[in-house]
Amino acid sequence: MNKLLVILVVCLGLKGMSQSSYDNNGRIDNIGVNDFGNGMWVKSVSQKVDLKGSPYLYDSWFNNGKIYLSNRVLSIMSMNYNMQLERFEAKISEDSVFAIDPQGIKKVVIRDKEFIRRLDPEFQRNSYFQKIATINGKVLLEKHTVELKEGQINPMTMQKLQKDALIKKEVYYIANSKGEDLKSFKVNKRSILSLINKNKLDRVKTFAKQHKLKFKKAEDVKAIIEYSKTL
């Protein structure tokens, strides 16, 4: 391994585990950016003074993540999801970010949240979706997106009265047991309860009420569904 590759390994804070399955029995290998296939170096996105919000899912880059390939798991110490460009990125320094090539990736786990790459039925392109929960042969998925909201303009001076803003938005889908054949899904009390067996509904409603869980909040929906599976 040459000196440059050693430096890249240290900077990335990565470790690879060659293994036939995702357990702890694998051999630890040193890896470099070549393990990401056709990924590329990009400049870090700095916050524009005339723009509110961020294209990234998390406010901080201090996020431990794991990338699951067919025969190994790559652990990354500083990772984030770019909602605008629909890709995961590893931050190397204030000015350097490595955009991770999705080819060959089985799944990505960041902050204990699992992401899989599937065909977006709306835009007909592959994108990342977060797995919220599985129930009765179906998978509830969430897509994190961002939209640009233009600030108000003074019609007299044509100067902006407000900054443009990036607004985070979540879109939900229901898929089959393999996480495929995605269909748009509205997350509300009625739709979530429709996924649960009728003989469990009264107990599930009581559980949600006692714990003040909301049927429109992803984390609460996950808790509700996981509870229903214990009944």
Q: Which domain holds residue 106?
A: 3-185
Across 24-28, 90-94, 140-144, which has the greatest mean pLDDT? 140-144
Residues 175 and 104 in one domain: yes
Residues 168 and 98 in one domain: yes
Number of domains making up the chain = 2
pLDDT at 141: 97
Residues 166 and 230 in one domain: no
Percent of the chain predicted with pLDDT > 70: 78
Percent of the chain predicted with pLDDT > 90: 55
Residues 177 and 192 in one domain: no
Residue-wise pLDDT for 41-92, tens only, equals 666 555 556 778 889 999 999 999 999 988 889 888 899 999 999 999 998 7
Residues 206 and 134 in one domain: no
Residues 55 and 149 in one domain: yes
Residue-wise pLDDT for 4-14, tens only, equals 333 344 444 44
pLDDT at 37: 52
What mean pLDDT, rounded, does the chain reach?
A: 82
Q: Hey, is 80 helix, strand or coil? A: strand
**Which of 170, 104, 168 lies closest to 140, judged by CA?**
170
Does residue 27 have a pLDDT over 60?
A: no
Residues 119 and 216 in one domain: no
pLDDT at 126: 94
Residue 54 dihedral angles phi and psi, to the nearest 5°: -145, 150
Residues 8 and 113 in one domain: yes
Residues 171 and 198 in one domain: no
Residues 108 and 130 in one domain: yes
Residues 91 and 68 in one domain: yes
In the 3-class helix/strand/coil scheme, how is 162-226 assigned residue by residue?
CCEEEEEEEEEEEEECCCCCCEECCCCHHHHHCCCCHHHHHHHHHHHHHCCCCCCCHHHHHHHHH
pLDDT at 68: 94
Residues 123 and 222 in one domain: no
pLDDT at 46: 56
